[in-house]
Amino acid sequence: MQIPLRITFRDMPALPAVEARVRERAAALDRLHPNITGGHVVVEAHHRHHEQGKLYHVAIHLVLPEGEIAVTRDPARHHAHEDVYVAVRDAFDAAERRLQDHARRLRGAVKYHEPAAHGTVAQLFPDYGFIRSAVDGQEIYFHRNSVVGDKFEQLASGMEVRFALHEGEGEQGPQASTVTLVGKHHPEPPAP
């Protein structure tokens, strides 16, 4: 880190062993993403009323040239956080995942799923049919086994469907590998 890591202990004394663990995990984050410009870690003890013991809350704030990453671990949901080392581990594991996601976004390596094509049923036969693509009007072959939910019998000419194209072409030309009904009970997914 370009600016030294700040560590704050709240409602508890500063514990050298916990501070050493925090610095060790922060150094691992720095190796994962060497452009971290600064960071602040808060280790806090929450007292539980009418119960024995404490729950530990760990918050991590990292500053990067491209933005910031903040991670908190809520002790109310994690009774394992009665151990401060478990709370530190969980918070840094989450920060590591966030940094990895951030690095993937920067590289452009985030998975993008092409939206399903859309069209209408053009022709139906006993075991297969053709879909007319809404984009280019091309007719795409599909077999009854391609219809999601075994709903081939519910199809009729003119019905709206979504489909995924099978790679390559079959004997009938382009072929749909998956066909899903669209309509009142089969809503179109929101646009990405």
Sign of the C-alpha dihedral computed for residues 61, 62, 63 and 66 taken in this order: negative
Cα distance between residue 160 and residue 148, in whole Å: 14
Q: Which residues pair with 105 in a beta bridge?
A: none
pLDDT at 86 over 70: yes
In this predicted model, what pLDDT tens digit does every residue of 132-184 receive, in sequence order?
A: 998 888 899 999 998 988 889 999 999 999 988 877 677 778 888 889 988 65
Helix (H) or strand (E) holding 95: helix 84-107
The domains found in the chain, sorted by start residue, are: 6-107 (3.30.160.100), 117-181 (2.40.50.140)
Contacts 24+ apart (CB under 8 A), 44-48: 44/9, 44/10, 44/11, 44/12, 45/10, 45/11, 45/12, 45/84, 46/11, 46/75, 47/11
Give the other-Cβ count within 10 Å of 18's Cβ. Answer: 21
Using a cut of 0.75, tell me whether the model's pTM lies above it: no
What pLDDT does residue 167 have?
72
SS3 label, residue 56: strand
> Count of H helices and E strands in the chain?
2, 9
pLDDT for residue 77 is more than 60: no
Of the given ranges (1-5, 23-27, 86-90, 95-99), which has the lowest mean pLDDT?
1-5
DSSP-derived pairing of the beta strands 117-124 and 54-64: unpaired
Q: Bin 24: left if φ > 0, else alpha if -120 < ψ < 50, else beta.
A: alpha
Q: Which residues lie below 8 Å from residue 13, measured CB to CB, with a gap of 6+?
A: none
